[in-house]
Amino acid sequence: MEAEGFATVGLTLVRGQTERLQPPRALYCAFPLGRPLGGPGDPAFQRRVLDATFALLDRPAGPVLEDFPEVIDDEVDSPLACAVPPRMNRSDNPAVDEALALRAAYDRQLRASGRTMVGRQITADQVPTAVEAFTRIAGGAPLAEAGVEGEPVKTANDVRAYYEEAAMALEGHVPAARSAESWYFRKTLAGDAVRRAQRVLREGGGPNRLVAYLVPRSQLLP
């Protein structure tokens, strides 16, 4: 961009990479990955970040890499204390039943925010079926016969988004970064199924992209 004539100024969440890449102007923010401006719903904080970022444009020479003075920590071992609603129909696969039970919460969150990250591959209506498919893989079913709709990584990300957004409604606030993720993978049947499916694929020599992208690095089963 700079070579094309623009002046650029950026945020970075990974200082070591930026030290080596040496972009013209960068502000390192010790914030969770995914939140380069910091706190959701905190305009004053976001504005402080932007003011510090744009201030780098005043530096006479580059490359410039400075640190934002405020830090936001997140802890992987702090899943939300979010209760999963009672099952609707105990004759179903429990993981499917769980996904169905969270639909009302997901819908409330969608109405409140007007935005969803579900939709890469499947709709919210298809989440219970996807959960069932990952349960099959976790149980040893061949990937091709498990019934996963489309690209499994996208489908898994959709299931996770559905659960995380439902959790936001159940909690009534935006969770700390990664705590909804920890809740999903460690406290729900669907998340457990996806983790176990990833392990089955990993140990069985499954496709590299599934082994690498189905589950976050921080949530892999041994």
Partner 1 sequence: MTADAPTRAAVGAAPVPHFDDPAYNTPTPLREAVVAIVTTAGLHPAGENGFRDQNDQSFRVLPADGRGLTSTHFSPNWDRTGLAADINVAFPIDRLHEMAAEGAIGSVSAVHLSFMGALDETMTTIRLDSGPAAAAVLRQAGVDIVLLTPV
Beta bridge partners of 66: 27
Which lies closer to partner 1 via its Cβ, residue 38 or residue 128? 38
Residue 134, classed as helix, strand or coil, is helix
What six digits make up the tokens of 12?
């970075």
Stretch that binds partner 1, among 26-34, 92-100, 129-137, 141-149 (CB under 8 A): 26-34
Check binding of 90 to partner 1 (CB under 8 A): no
Q: Which of 28, 32, 107, 141: binder of partner 1 (CB under 8 A)?
A: 32
Burial 58-75 (b: 16+ CB within 10 A, else e): eeeeeebbeebeeeeebe
Least distance to partner 1 from the beta carbon of 82, Å? 12
Residues 4-23 close enough to bind partner 1 by CB under 8 A: 4-17, 20-23
> What x/- string results for residues 171 through 210 when contact with partner 1 is judged by CB under 8 A?
---xx-xx-xxx--------------------------x-
> What x/- string results for residues 44 through 63 when contact with partner 1 is judged by CB under 8 A?
--xx--x--xx--x---xxx
Is residue 34 within 8 A of residue 47, CB to CB? The reply is: no
> What x/- string results for residues 105 through 134 when contact with partner 1 is judged by CB under 8 A?
----x---xxxxx-xx--------------
Long-range CB pairs of 10-16 (<8 Å, 24+ gap) are 10/53, 11/36, 11/37, 11/49, 11/53, 12/36, 12/65, 15/65, 15/67
